[in-house]
């Protein structure tokens, strides 16, 4: 990617009177964490004088515009007071439209860019990205294809393995599975999902198969890999604008509530999302391992066509490492990882928005569809005979 010819501030002047729409929530197990990320981002943009619209995606999949200055507690029981109904319309001239209102007429919102703060589910698996592409809205974060790859643990592991990067064996687990090619204990994960939700550590295959029926997070698919008690978590953030750069290496710390794996509570229960989780930053690891992780993080970002800011998660025994996952929209947008050199949250957001406006996520083209094939095709009836 060539370096930008304009600064983020120069690029963002193109917003004009149009607003930045901060989108958060969604029908996802990570709904609540997404609210924290979205409110943090909306508050920071507002402090910088950016015209901001906060768009809340409800648990049931509805869209609402809300006051961007709200606190997280306003969402604890559902849609906060004063919310306005919206629709997201795909297609040329579409976008977010306010429905009803005083006049009863629909009114399109003047949005220059969408800051996607959705974690998990359709906000991070390519569904929302594809809809925004069709609506012609610029947005931050992964493309539709990049989001889909990052959310699919089995496909991601295949790409990483094919590139020769170290990773633990990972295979699909179904009700008909008998052997997976390695012995237990096993770590069982939802194939589509993140943030340690729905993850189990089990001793044997029989228990793993029992979990398939009992664990609702595994219904869309499950993967299994060896559980290694000697491994711990290490993370590196990557951002792609104005050029690819990496953060310090983080070691998230496990609490007594999560002895086997880094759990959901370790990451998020503390009021600030990932920004408030316990950690070593920078991680106290060997310099050689730090360099290897940063190099691998860059390669994973290139392999997955990362866009915006992503977090690459590794497992390590302190000497070697394994690539674990890519989080294409990390909690708190990974703002806390940029300590060397320090990067202000507002500057991170401005860079995300500038990239979204300067480098559209999708540019569809019908070049080559000139009718030649249709003119020579003959009758459809003859092809069905």
Q: What is the pTM of this model?
A: 0.91
Q: 227 CB contacts (<8 Å, ≥6 apart)?
A: 184, 185, 186, 187, 201, 260
Whole-number Å distance between alpha carbons of 118 and 79: 16
More confident of the two residues 101 and 243: 243
Q: For the chain, what are the domain ranges?
A: 8-149, 169-227
Residue 16 has what pLDDT? 87
Residue 384 has what pLDDT? 81
Say whether pLDDT at 361 is over 80. Answer: yes
Residue 101 has what pLDDT? 59
Domain over 8-149 is classified CATH 1.10.3720.10: no
169-227 fold = Dna Ligase; domain 1 (3.30.1490)
Whole-number Å distance between alpha carbons of 235 and 232: 10
Whole-number Å distance between alpha carbons of 345 and 200: 34
Residue 2 has what pLDDT? 66
> In the predicted model, what is the mean pLDDT of residues 104-131?
94
Q: 378 CB contacts (<8 Å, ≥6 apart)?
A: none
User: Which segment of 79-93, 129-143, 188-202, 303-317 scores lowest on mean pLDDT?
Assistant: 188-202
Residue 382 has what pLDDT? 82
Q: Given the DSSP bridges, would you call strands 232-239 and 186-190 parallel, antiparallel or unpaired?
A: unpaired
> pLDDT for 62-106, tens place per residue?
999 999 999 999 999 999 999 999 999 999 889 999 987 555 677
Distances (CA, A) of 83 to 28, 34, 65, 86, 382: 20, 18, 6, 9, 57
Say whether pLDDT at 264 is over 80. Answer: no
Q: Which of these, 72, 28, 60, lies nearest to 329 by C-alpha position?
A: 28
Whole-number Å distance between alpha carbons of 145 and 71: 33
């Amino acid at each position: 990617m060539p370096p930008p010819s304009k600064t983020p501030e120069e690029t963002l002047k193109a917003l004009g009177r149009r607003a930045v729409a901060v989108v958060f929530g969604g029908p996802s197990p990570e709904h609540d964490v997404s609210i924290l990320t979205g409110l943090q981002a909306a508050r920071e943009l507002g402090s910088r004088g950016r015209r901001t619209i906060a768009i809340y995606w409800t648990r049931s999949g509805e869209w609402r515009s809300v006051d961007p200055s709200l606190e997280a507690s306003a969402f604890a029981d559902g849609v906060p007071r004063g919310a306005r109904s919206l629709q997201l319309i795909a297609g040329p001239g579409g976008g977010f439209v306010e429905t009803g209102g005083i006049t009863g007429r629909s009114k399109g919102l003047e949005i220059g860019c969408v800051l996607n703060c959705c974690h998990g589910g359709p906000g991070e698996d390519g569904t929302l990205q594809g809809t925004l592409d069709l609506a012609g809205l610029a947005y931050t974060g992964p493309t539709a294809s990049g989001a889909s790859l990052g959310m699919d643990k089995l496909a991601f592991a295949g790409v990483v393995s094919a590139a020769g990067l170290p990773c633990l064996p990972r295979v699909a687990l179904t009700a008909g599975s008998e052997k997976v090619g390695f012995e237990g204990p096993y770590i069982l994960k939802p194939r589509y999902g993140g943030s340690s939700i729905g993850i189990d550590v089990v001793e044997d295959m029989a228990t793993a198969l029992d979990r398939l029926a009992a664990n609702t997070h595994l219904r869309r698919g499950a993967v299994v890999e060896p559980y290694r008690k000697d491994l711990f978590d290490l993370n590196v953030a990557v951002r792609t604008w104005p050029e690819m750069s990496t953060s310090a290496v983080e070691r998230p710390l496990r609490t007594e509530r999560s002895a086997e794996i880094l759990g959901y509570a370790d990451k998020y229960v503390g009021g600030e999302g990932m920004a408030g989780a316990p950690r070593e930053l920078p991680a106290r690891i060997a310099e050689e391992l730090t360099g290897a992780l940063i190099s691998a993080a860059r390669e994973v970002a290139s392999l997955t066509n990362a866009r915006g800011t992503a977090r690459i998660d590794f497992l390590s025994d302190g000497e070697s490492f394994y690539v674990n996952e890519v989080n294409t929209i990390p909690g708190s947008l990974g703002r806390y990882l940029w300590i060397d050199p320090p990067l202000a949250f507002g500057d991170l957001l401005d860079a995300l928005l500038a990239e979204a406006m300067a480098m559209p996520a999708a540019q569809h083209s019908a070049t080559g569809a000139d009718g030649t094939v249709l003119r020579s095709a003959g009758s459809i009836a003859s092809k069905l005979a």
